[in-house]
Amino acid sequence: MHKKIFAYLLGFFIFFTLYNTLIPFEFDVPFSELGGQLQKINRIPFFDADGDLVSLTDIVGNIFLFIPFGFLCYMLLWYMKKRHRLVWCILGGAALSFTIEFLQLFIYSRDTAIHDLVNNTLGSAIGATVAAIYATQLSEFISKTFFDLLKNKPALLIVILLLLAQSVSAIMPFTVSISVSGFVKSVKETNLVPFTYRPLSVLLFDDYSKDAQFQMTDSVKAKLQQSDLPADVVENLRKFDQPEPQSRRKFLDAIKSVVGGKALKAHRETILQLAQIRSEETIFDFTQMIENIIFWAIAGYLISLSLLLYFPQLPRANLIRWLFPVIYFILLEFAQIFITSRITDINDIIGGCAGVYAGYLLFRLLPPTIAANRQLDVSMLKIPVLL
């Protein structure tokens, strides 16, 4: 059973990694140009194509990206009772990273780098080492806890897995910023104004030049055709879908994946001037908040069900019930300050808390029928399934 679980998880992670590293799947470099692409690879590790030192954030992000691979691979080999597990995990991580870097040679908007291969392999080694410690020291305890919850408190287990999955999703794709400048930028991009997008840099300093919001709207795409941008760049930008405004840094990263680094470097200022918007022009999109409320209403309903089934006499249960969402979502948004591809937003805290509290209300209005033995029954999950 354990072997199948880790095999499925490893397969899913490999698929997920390939998907996220090969977007936009535009293999626009013909095989005949492979030699030229190989010549462009910078053979000096930890330096980019322009000769600049690769940022510490990029290094750490690539290491973190492959830690799950090393962990899952080691655990699969552990249950298969294979020898030399650490070696196989390192070789497997290197092979997966090499495959990604090789395929990126055929995508013009992607860059192939030797240091990515080194960092990914190191991440696999770290993940495998953590798995070795887990397998020998913690596996029995965690497995016992998991199956005890599965047998005796399944509703609580669902809540825990839901929270863990959302926490991991919130910090993906693990592009961690550990530099002071990166931290300062993330703080400046933090939005503390409900129901709008107004970063701290704009709120406190009215700094539109550095921390303005950018969006490739339909009107901007129409202006592109009247600009002096090359036709191929305009065509690629017209295909770009951007549902929400972004900061300058995140907008440029997204544009780079569409038009490529060379085109962005040549036409960056023109693109920024066309796409810049002021915060007062930004219309808040309630769709995402409604989605968050519905999603977290499931968690709220299940939390109420778990408290009723398993902790009916818990002291200060109501206090825990109402404080937990606030603490959880504040910590989750704070963690996103250190993720370069995420923005800390008070609207996410509001949507999450509102969703959990809505779940509590649904539980009071539509309570399930509780059997005398207080065991979870499928009929108790009708509301969460509907949501």
pLDDT tens track, the chain, 387 positions: 578 888 888 998 898 888 877 776 677 777 777 677 777 776 677 666 566 666 777 787 788 889 999 999 999 998 888 889 999 999 999 999 999 888 888 877 677 778 888 999 999 999 999 999 988 887 777 777 777 777 778 888 888 888 888 887 777 666 666 566 677 777 878 888 888 777 777 667 555 445 567 888 877 888 887 788 888 888 888 888 777 778 777 888 888 888 888 888 788 778 877 777 654 445 567 888 898 899 999 999 999 888 888 888 878 888 888 999 999 999 998 888 877 767 888 999 999 999 999 999 999 898 887 766 666 666 677 888 787
Domain co-membership, 180 together with 302: yes
Same domain assignment for residues 144 and 6: yes
73 with 120, same domain: the answer is yes
Q: 164 and 298 in one domain? A: yes
Q: What pLDDT was estimated at residue 195? A: 83
Instruction: Note whether 28 and 127 are same-domain residues.
Output: yes
Going through the chain in order, the beta strands assigned E by DSSP cover: 213-214, 246-247, 276-277
* Cβ-based neighbours of 162, under 8 Å, separated by 6 or more: 298, 299, 302
236 and 133 part of one domain: no
Helix (H/G/I), strand (E/B), else coil: 241: coil
Residue 228's pLDDT is 81
Give every CB contact of residue 82 below 8 A, 6+ residues apart in sequence.
88
In this structure, what is the dihedral angle of CA atoms 26, 32, 34, 36, given to the nearest 10 degrees? -110
Would you report the helix, strand and coil content of the chain in percent, each value rounded to 5?
A: 70, 5, 25
Angle, helices 114-133/56-79, rounded to nearest 10 degrees: 50
* 30, 109 Cβ separation under 8 angstroms: no
Do 376 and 234 have their domain in common? no
Is 178 in the same domain as 87? no
Range of the domain at 58: 2-151
Are residue 193 and residue 336 in the same domain, yes or no? yes
As a whole number of angstroms, the distance between CA 306 and CA 312 comes to: 9
Q: Are 48 and 133 in the same domain?
A: yes
Chain Cα centroid distance, residue 328: 17
Same domain, yes or no: 115 and 34: yes
For the chain, the domain total comes to 3
Mark whether 312 and 352 lie in a shared domain: yes
